[in-house]
Amino acid sequence: GAVVSQHPSWVICKSGTSVKIECRSLDFQATTMFWYRQFPKQSLMLMATSNEGSKATYEQGVEKDKFLINHASLTLSTLTVTSAHPEDSSFYICSARDLRAEAFFGQGTRLTVV
């Protein structure tokens, strides 16, 4: 199957700082990427849909000014958590669709805000 690479796999940052997470489709072009968040012992919750060359679509309750999404190319989407707080600590996962519309997931990024 197609490969989606997410970086970094884990990050620790201080409260108030910003963190950028990258999601790359390595062997296919992805016009659409998705960002999910997963808290401990819970299921994945969709945060936003990232469309190449246009603004992201955010799910209800997700602050677009806090979770900045950029999808500047067909192989890269980034999620920036701005002014991070401890409650933003979570497992962030990206997903990309290939031309067959099948979804492939990155390995996830564990963010810890201290």
Q: Please give the C-alpha separations between residue 101 and each of 15, 17, 24, 29, in angstroms, as whole numbers.
A: 37, 35, 16, 11
Phi and psi for 88 in degrees, rounded to 5?
-85, -10
**How are beta strands 57-58 and 45-51 bridged, if at all?**
antiparallel
Among residues 81 and 106, whose Cβ is nearest to other proteins?
A: 106
**How are beta strands 109-113 and 90-97 bridged, if at all?**
antiparallel
Per-residue mark of binding to other proteins, 10-39 (x: CB under 8 A): ----------------------x-x-x---
Per-residue mark of binding to other proteins, 50-89 (x: CB under 8 A): ----------------------------------------
Binding site for other proteins (CB under 8 A): 1, 4, 6, 32, 34, 36, 43-46, 49, 91, 93-95, 97, 100-108, 110
